Amino acid sequence: MQTSTDSPVMISVADAASPLENQLMPSEFYEAAISADESVTSNYWYLGVSYLLAGREEDAQAAWFVPLAEADETEASIYTDELLSVLEQEAKYQSQVPDLEIEWLIRQHIWMLKPEKIENILKLVVLANSLDQLTSKLLIEWQIEELLATVLAGSINDESLENVIVALVQKTHTDLSLKLIKACLILTGDLQPYIITQLIGSAFQLFHQRNVGLFSVKLAEICKSLSPDDLGISHVLSCLYSGIDFHQQAIDSAEQYYQFAPNQFEQLFGSYLIQRAYLTAGSWKGCRARLDRHRELIRNIIAESDHAPKVQRRTLIVSSYFSPYIEDNPHNNKPLQNQLASVYQNNLNPLLLKSEFEELSLEKKIGVLRIGYLASTLKVHSVGWLSRWLFHHHDRNSFQIFNYCINQNPKDAFNHQWFRDKVDISYYFNSPEEVAAQIKADEIDILIDLDSLTFDLSCQVMAYKSAPVQATWLGWDASGIPSIDYFIVDPYVLPDDAQDYYHEKLWRLPQTYLAVDGFEVGIPTLNRRDLGIPDDAVVYFSSQGGYKRHPDNIRCQMRIIKEVPNSYFLIKGKSDPTIIRDFFGKIAEEEGVSLDRLRFLDGVPDEYTHRANLAIADIVLDTFPYNGATTTLETLWMGIPMVTQVGEQFAARNSYTFMLNAGIEEGIAWSEQEYVDWGVKLGLDRELRDKIQGKLRSGRTTAPVWNAKQFTLDMEQAYREMWAKYQEQNEHEVIDEHSNN
């Protein structure tokens, strides 16, 4: 029988010899055939398959054993090959039906008959993954590592090897699976570069979505060993090394990227990677020295952009990410970022926003605005903790809320509790093109970006302009991408003249650009006695990552410790322990502060414990030029006085707006000297600290920063006004167009 395209239709081997008009079951047919002539060995093979398909596994083995039991060595080998051929044919048929359980059963019998048949074992690996049965125990039992070592390159189909690699990456995150992945990769031919590219993407996703950091790093290292000149691998490795605190390896990978960068675009990104690696480690010596060269590269790219060929550089947008960590200079840095963002958007390949996902779309309610939120951080992350209250309080009768989660685990419990269960529909994507197409298909009115420069894929989605109104909120400073209309701020987090250097229209909410209803607090694990600190001592505290540990700010902190007798400084944050101790120690020594007054704290298992441990502090010292945000709010919620220095850029004014909106001005400094003065004053004046603590605690019920319900109303009103402006502008454009015609 053939189809209209003349390609054969596969049928089960158990049914192949049975006439259609014959009403006998396949097993009955072959039993009758054997009774008529016992010498036809193939009937025993088909009879066994018939039994196997009927769930009679022991009878199947017995049927196959009949000819084999009476055969000599030569005949047994021939008969086994015949049986294997029949079983392989049936397994292929079951794979196309598909019935994976039956195929799995048949291939297990093939393995028992010929355990060295590597092609069958590779298919068993893929089947085990599909059936959620793949384990290290099975891989050892199949002796796949030993068999792969005997295989010649090119003797196995590349796609089969790729399928095995995918299965191992998805299910087994062990050293054995890494060995097998490498062995399979070595055997691949023309597909190897493609598979390596996919593996690097998988390593990145596993790291962020499945928390298998060391496995992800080793997977990327395997790719690097086979493709040592691949810049993309150096990029991912540098980031992954930083993520598991292998800081020197992160720096080395970043330096390698920069060294082999073939053009200024790649050199700029390499420079960014170097800054990232050094600052994550808490080391400024390799970062500040490169700042001038980094800016020069940006200026060159901007100057040559009109003449250079348009090549998509997805990473270009994040290249100036670290400028606000290094200095508070938005008048110079923001215009550069805006121009770089324009080059980035102009170099993106245009996207045809096809409505291919329309069948997934939610029915549109008339007169209800559709708001989409784009983020990679709607999980246990600073943005997740802070944005959750907006989703909690949203008016679901007046707004349809859509979440577009990119590079996130759809099974994440925090995401389900605070986001997925609070909105009309949530999506989970890894591709920016798919996200943008879905936003278009959903007919989103206003798209809110919560990532900004923290994630290049989110920037790409925003650059595609898949919603008529687009805004940035919360996750970082504005990116400068031309397709983004607004940056949502408040009266304090940016100075009055900030619009002069922002591309986006600054949309100032009436009180605060962020409010939360509070934080859950756990049980503290820190106490003074364990840290060797007297009960009557003054304890200063700082909790930030290496990015924010600016040496000029640390010098101010050391001056405070020096001026306050019987004071100690607790330093907590993710960075290289050795580098950060040496870094603080050197500055402390230069400022005349004894090292025994510094305490370096290890990380804690969760945010609840971190917040509880804040209670050990008398005063929290903020960082500059990049303030805390989540850490500031947690400090204020715990009722602890703090000192912050206010600057010009968004990152240098977060603590300022939060403190004002929490009801206190004590501790707000406008210069380094005032920062030191406030730090000393709070350390020496216990009554002042008590007064501030009282104001913070009483403000929990009245202060704007703790009133997320009112904040949500302010955001929703902003959305209405944004949409009204868009409609008004559209009407004018239509009128103008008709007038011109």
For the chain, what is the radius of gyration of the CA atoms? 32
Q: In angstroms, rounded to a whole number, what is the distance separating the alpha carbons of residues 23 and 20? A: 8
What does the block give as tokens for 258? 């920069």
User: What pLDDT, on the 0 to 100 scale, is given for residue 739?
Assistant: 55
Q: Are 668 and 524 in contact (CB under 8 A)?
A: no
Alpha helices in 114-245 (DSSP H): 118-130, 136-141, 144-148, 158-171, 175-187, 192-209, 213-226, 231-243
**Residues 280, 545 contacting (CB under 8 angstroms):** yes
**How confident is the model at residue 308, as a pLDDT?**
64
One-character DSSP codes across 662-698:
HT--TTEESSHHHHHHHHHHHHH-HHHHHHHHHHHHH
Type of residue numbered 146: E
| Token code pair at residue 594 | 């004894």
Percentage of the chain with pLDDT > 70? 92
Tokens of 110: 């093939």
At 676 the pLDDT is: 98
Angle at 501 between CA 500 and CA 505, to 5 degrees: 75
Alpha-carbon distance 92 to 102, whole Å? 11
Look at residue 132 and tell me whether its pLDDT is greater than 50. yes
- β-pairing, 399-406 with 369-375? parallel
Which of the two residues, 731 and 339, has the higher pLDDT score?
339
The token pair that represents 691 in the structure block:
């007064």
pLDDT bin (cut points 50, 70, 90) of residue 304 is confident
Q: Taking a C-beta distance cutoff of 8 angstroms, is the pair 242, 230 a contact?
A: no
What confidence tens digit (pLDDT) does each residue in 634-673 have? 999 999 999 999 999 999 999 999 999 999 999 999 999 9
Q: Of the given ranges (314-318, 426-430, 541-545, 588-592), which has the lowest mean pLDDT?
A: 314-318
Spatial contact of 608 and 521, defined as CB atoms under 8 Å apart: yes
pLDDT above 90 (res 577): no
CB 227 within 8 A of CB 198: no
- Residue, of 362 and 562, whose pLDDT is higher: 562
**For strand 425-429 and strand 399-406, is the pairing parallel, antiparallel, or unpaired?**
parallel
What number is the average pLDDT over the span 179-189? 94
Q: Is residue 375 classed as helix, strand or coil in its secondary structure? A: strand
- Segment 308-353, tens digit of pLDDT: 666 667 788 999 899 999 999 999 999 999 999 999 998 887 765 5
pLDDT tens digits, residue range 6-26?
333 445 665 655 544 455 678
Q: What is the pLDDT averaged over residues 391-406?
A: 96
How many percent of the chain have pLDDT more than 90?
Answer: 76
Segment among 157-161, 372-376, 489-493 with least mean pLDDT: 157-161
Q: 75-120, pLDDT tens digit by residue?
A: 999 999 999 999 999 999 999 988 999 999 999 999 999 999 999 9
Q: Does domain 528-706 have CATH number 3.40.50.2000?
A: yes
Domain 368-508 has CATH 3.40.50.11380: yes
Task: Cis check for the bond before 350: say yes or no (omega within 30 of 0).
Answer: no
Mind listing the pLDDT tens digit for each residue in 221-272? 999 999 999 999 999 999 999 988 899 999 999 999 999 999 888 999 999 9
Encode pLDDT of 53-68 as tens digits: 999 999 999 999 999 9
pLDDT of residue 11: 59
Break the chain into its structural domains and give their ranges: 1-114, 272-347, 368-508, 528-706
Distance CA 631, CA 615 (A): 13
Distance CA 416, CA 432 (A): 22
Q: How many residues in the chain?
A: 741
**pLDDT over 70 (residue 733):** no
Confidence at residue 1, expressed as pLDDT on a 0 to 100 scale = 24
Q: What is the pTM for the complete model shown?
A: 0.81
Structure token digits, residue 67 = 């000819």
Choose between 732 and 678: higher pLDDT.
Answer: 678
pLDDT of res. 351: 65
